[in-house]
Amino acid sequence: MIAHTVFFYIFSLIAIVSAVMVTVSKNTVHSVFFLILDFISISCLFIMIGAEFLGMIMLIVYVGAVAVLFLFVVMMLNVAEQKGQWFSSRWDGGTHIPVGLLVSLIIFFELIIVIGGWKYKPDLLNSLSINISTQVTNTRSIGNVLYTDYILLFQISGMILLVAMIGAIVLTYRERAGVKRQSYVKQISRERSEGVDLVEAERNKGVKIDA
Amino acid sequence: MDSYFSILFTEVYKILFLLVPVLVSVAMIVWLDRRVWAFVQKRRGPNVVGPFGLFQSLADALKYIFKEIIIPASSNKLVFVLAPVVTMTLALISWAVIPFGENFVLADINVGILYLFAVSSLGVYGIIMGGWASNSKYPFLGAIRSAAQMVSYEVSIGVIIINVLLCVGSLNLSDIVMAQQNLWFVIPLFPMFVIFFISALAETNRPPFDLPEAEAELVAGYQTEYSGMMYAMFWLGEYANILLMCAMGAVLFLGGWLSPIDIFPFNAIPGPFWLIFKILFLFILFALVKATVPRYRYDQLMKLGWKIFLPFSLFYVVLTSSFLLYFDLLPGK
């Protein structure tokens, strides 16, 4: 099992170092790259404890989709312009520091609760009303509980995501005037009689089109 | 510790046994691509170096190796160098789970298809990193285009995979092949196969969806600033990805290593050959599409992905699952 331990420490080390680098690195795009590295090493840890389904979903959803959007947004910011300003010591009233402190305190206490809960894990596993079989693959066992016991919560979280998605579209959508769009129906249903006109032109007068 | 090293060495040997043929076939496939392209356009194509020009790719590779690697002064150097490496690595590691025959696979993991999907969704990073690190307008625009395009078409590929998985009941690639023993999925899921093929073209930035490198608009897209071996790595990674998409199509829809009919002259041919035939068949289709179809406009591309493919494949998921449920064919009871 020594190889297992070595790999565990390698991945954990990469995860922690890259998590620190996310906040430390001056270049925002580098931060996102470190975030991606962090996600990847976390999913490696998931795979190491045998939760390969979670690990792969982590890769597909966070690395494959969410982080791409992060990169999109961050790249659109003009990084050259921000240099020196992003982490400047300029005091802007200090509104962000109390909020940041509050959030980090909450996260700190949550972590304490999670680590404390580790002690009660064996009791918790025994007292579970759903039975988790160790014989089937974890994809199957997740599917078994997700779509039966937790179907309501699963559906509700799906609905919340859908509402958020529609809300984002509604908030950012604006109708612009004067945009030319291609309409396949219009193009295909165009007939010769509408497209071509034969005009009797008088000599030395010319013809006015689309009057 | 000792047993660990012996396992390590046998694995390294197996990996080399897989990767060397893949790399050689990538070089050959470039030649094949150019030949097919030329034949459609009534040209001869590369036919000078070696018999039928077979060694053309080798000559090209030599040329790339001896060319100078130019790193632009204003680029972000580390990311710039890393980008082709990422592309190449990601294109190669996905081959680990492709089953070439029964028990003839490097890593027979439970979630093989998810692994393939995850790695192909990481492929976009090589391109974004290259485009951003070049610190130049055309590569950046190309990278943005390509990222949007790959993310969009991944969605429909994911839904298509769900269609196949509904019929299999397992995420393991060998199980997916074995589930097609009686009927290849290309027959019941033919519309999905067509959509998968087109999405694969878009996912690998092949014509007619090669907008990230549309030379009339963006010079060469994200590759503009690259030269020498780094350019070649992008290029090899792209072709390895194309081959991988063909392999994925063969495994998901064309029955992987299975022979088309289970009678003597066909089932005497070993499985890996059947898989290679199927990959080649799909690749020649890819090449024919490249030679015949004009490039899409970007808004048409997005419309096709989001407004046509995604709703249709979602509808097909509902259709497949209701069919399976109604006739009580759902696997994995």
B135 touches chain A (CB under 8 A): no
What are the backbone angles phi and psi of residue B153, rounded to the nearest 5°?
-80, -20
- pLDDT over 50 (residue B198): yes
Whether residue B57 is contained in a domain is answered as no
Considering the domain boundaries, does residue B139 fall inside one? Answer: yes
Question: Does residue B252 lie within any of the structural domains?
Answer: yes
Residue A7 token pair:
């790999």
For an interface test with A, give the residue of B75, B76, B85, B110 to mutate (most A CBs within 10 A). B110
CB neighbour list of residue A117: distance below 8 Å, 6 or more residues apart:
A124
What is the arithmetic mean of pLDDT over B129-137? 84
Domain assignment present for B2? no
Residue B32 lies inside a defined structural domain of this protein: no
CB atoms inside a 10 Å sphere around CB B16: 10
Share of chain B above pLDDT 90, in %: 10
DSSP string, B90-136: HHHHGGGG---BTTB-S---TTHHHHHHHHHHHTHHHHHHHHHHTTS
Q: How far apart are the first and last CA of chain B?
A: 41
Distance (Å) of CA B254 to CA A121, A131, B72, B172, B176: 46, 38, 45, 16, 11
DSSP-derived 3-state class of residue A129: coil
Mutate to test the interface with B, among A31, A47, A71 (most CBs of B within 10 A): A71
**What is the per-residue pLDDT for A92?**
56
What gap in Å lies between CA B53 and CA A13, rounded to an integer? 50
Q: Which two tokens stand for residue A187?
A: 């193009």
Residue B181 is encoded by which pair of tokens?
């023993």
CA distance B86 to B132: 14
Cβ–Cβ below 8 Å for B118 and A33: no
Q: How far apart are CA A30 and CA A17, in angstroms?
A: 13
Q: Above pLDDT 70, what percent of chain B?
A: 99
Cα B218 to its chain centre, rounded Å, is 23
Measured between beta carbons, the chain B residues lying within 8 angstroms of A182 are: 299-300
Which portions of chain A are predicted below pLDDT 70?
1, 78-95, 121, 124-134, 209-211
Q: Are A182 and B299 within 8 A, CB to CB?
A: yes
CA distance linking residue A117 with residue A103, whole number of Å: 21
C-alpha closest to that of B184 among B255, B265, B275: B255
The answer to whether the beta carbons of residues B250 and B275 sit under 8 Å apart is: yes
Predicted local confidence at residue B125, as pLDDT:
87
Instruction: Using the predicted structure, report yes or no on whether residue B268 has a pLDDT greater than 90.
Output: no
Facing B110 at nearest CB: one of A3, A64, A137: A137
CA angle (B96 as vertex; B95, B97 as ends), nearest 5: 95
Q: What are phi and psi of A64, to 5 degrees?
A: -75, -25
Tokens at residue B203, please? 């996912």
Domain of B295, in residue numbers: 66-326
Residue B203 within any structural domain of the chain? yes
The DSSP-derived string for B142-157 is: HHHHHHHHHHHHHHHH
Whether B211 maps to a domain, the answer reads: yes
Residue A78, pLDDT score: 60
Query: Per the structure, how many domains does chain B have?
Result: 1
Q: What pLDDT is recorded for position A86?
A: 47
Asked if B151 contacts A68 with a C-beta cutoff of 8 angstroms, the reply is yes
Q: Is residue B272 part of a domain?
A: yes
The pLDDT of residue A153:
92
Q: What is the mean pLDDT of residues B264-285?
A: 84
Interface membership of A165 toward B (CB under 8 Å): no
Per-residue pLDDT tens digits for B150-190: 888 888 899 999 999 888 888 888 888 888 888 888 888 89
Cα separation, B315 vs B322, in Å, equals 11
Contact B105, B99 (CB under 8 A): yes
